[in-house]
Amino acid sequence: MVASALILSPHGTIARLSATLPKGWEDWEPEVLRPAVKSLPVSWDIVQAVRALLLNPESFQTDFDVFENTVIAFCARPVDTEHVSVCTPAEILWGVSQAFAIRGKRESFGADVVAYVRGCMLDAGVFGYPAELRSFEPSDETELRESIRRKQAAGAENLESEDLVDVQAAKLSQVYASMSMIAAKFSDVS
């Protein structure tokens, strides 16, 4: 039996902190903020990532190091600021969706972040990105990428197939399944 998640998602974290702490908590120094959140069901890395996103959203959009560390924290993984980590497509999808939910709007990303996301997708062998990450895709092979998304949405993918679209649609399904597993880590996501 799997125990239920005990921490809040990034979006749930900001809601809890905003409801519990005085206005302006995001400006507090970490030495003041950490004791104030100690009894709350939040991850310190997520608190720091949410705070950074609120205070300096441009960095998330333009600096691949900030983007990467925010995505990793949003997935409740330990953040290592000393090394570059390759995020999975599911982690990127979760992190970007949480950032958009926190910020309340979709935003464009700089060339370094786009290159980082493309590198992560290439490393995972994902050619047709999730629709939510379409803005990161290269502009070539648009019709092929759309056919992959259509086949995945129709549930007609087959990882064992010889057909590129079938295999890529299956990989895309795996991205969404993995994102569901990430979401299951959090007590406020159903």
Q: Is the pLDDT of residue 2 over 80?
A: no
143 falls within a domain: yes
Residues 6+ away with beta carbon under 8 Å from 190: none
> What is the pLDDT averaged over residues 65-86?
92
104 falls within a domain: yes
Query: What is the distance between the alpha carbons of residues 71 and 94, in angstroms, rounded to a whole number?
Result: 8
Place of tokens 């997935």: 75
- Residue 188: per-residue pLDDT: 87
Q: Model confidence over 138-183: pLDDT tens digits?
A: 999 999 999 999 999 988 777 678 888 999 999 999 999 999 999 9
119 falls within a domain: yes
Q: Structural domain of residue 47, as residue ranges?
A: 10-183
1 falls within a domain: no
Q: What's the domain count of the chain?
A: 1
Q: Is the pTM for the entire model greater than 0.85?
A: yes
What value does the mean pLDDT of the chain take? 91
The DSSP string of 87-139 is PPHHHHHHHHHHHHHHHTS-----HHHHHHHHHHHHHHT--S--GGGGGGS-S
- Residue 1: per-residue pLDDT: 31
Q: Is the pLDDT of residue 4 over 50?
A: no
> What is the pLDDT averaged over residues 36-62?
93
Q: Which residue has the higher pLDDT, 102 or 81?
A: 102
3 falls within a domain: no
116 falls within a domain: yes
> What is the pLDDT averaged over residues 34-50?
93
Structural contact between residues 70 and 77, judged by C-beta atoms closer than 8 angstroms = no
- Cβ–Cβ contacts within 10 Å for residue 130, how many? 22
Please tell me whether residue 174 adopts helix, strand or coil conformation: helix
- Residue 5: per-residue pLDDT: 61
Residue 169 CB-density burial (10 A; 0-12 exposed, 13-18 middle, 19+ buried): buried
> What is the pLDDT averaged over residues 101-107?
86
190 falls within a domain: no
